[in-house]
C-alpha cells in the first residue's frame, strides 16, 4: 500500500484531471479505475443541473481536498503529460496552474 498524499484542487481541476485521465485516455495509461478516480467522479457528479451562473461558478471554484495514493498521483501526472503528447496537443493548463505545486508538496 503506497503512502497517501493530500492534494487541494478546485472542481475545475478535478474536471480537467478526469478529462485527460478518463475521457481522453482510451486505455493508453492504466490504473485510472482506482478509488481516488472514483472519488473525483462522484465529486463531479454533484455539479448543479441548473443553468444558474452563480451556482455553477461557485461549484467550479469550490476547493476540495483529495486523498490520493502516490501511485494515483503518478498516474495523473502521466495522463496530463503523455496523452496530450500522443495527440500532439499542448499540455493542459492544469499542469501549469495547479498540479506542480500539489505534487511537490509531498
Quick count: other Cβ atoms within 10 Å of Cβ 74? 14
- Retrieve residue 33's grid coordinates: 479505475
How many whole angstroms separate alpha carbon 3 and alpha carbon 28? Answer: 25
Distances (CA, A) of 79 to 34, 53, 91: 14, 30, 10
What local confidence, expressed as pLDDT, does residue 32 receive? 94
DSSP 8-state class, residue 92: P
What local confidence, expressed as pLDDT, does residue 63 receive? 94
Q: What confidence tens digit (pLDDT) does each residue in 47-104 have?
A: 999 888 999 999 999 999 999 998 998 899 889 889 888 888 888 877 766 664 555 5
Question: Considering the entire predicted model, what is its pTM?
Answer: 0.85
Asked whether the beta carbons of 103 and 73 are under 8 A apart, the reply is yes
Amino acid at each position: 500500500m503506497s503512502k497517501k498524499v493530500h492534494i487541494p484542487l478546485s472542481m475545475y481541476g478535478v474536471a480537467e484531471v478526469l478529462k485527460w485521465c478518463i475521457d481522453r485516455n482510451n486505455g493508453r495509461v492504466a490504473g485510472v479505475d482506482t478509488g481516488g478516480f472514483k472519488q473525483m467522479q462522484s465529486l463531479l457528479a454533484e455539479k448543479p443541473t441548473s443553468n444558474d451562473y452563480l451556482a455553477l461558478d461557485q461549484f467550479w471554484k469550490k476547493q476540495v481536498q483529495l486523498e490520493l495514493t502516490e501511485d494515483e498521483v503518478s498516474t495523473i501526472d502521466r495522463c496530463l503529460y503523455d496523452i496530450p503528447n500522443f495527440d500532439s496537443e499542448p499540455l493542459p493548463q492544469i499542469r501549469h496552474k495547479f498540479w506542480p505545486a500539489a505534487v511537490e508538496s509531498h
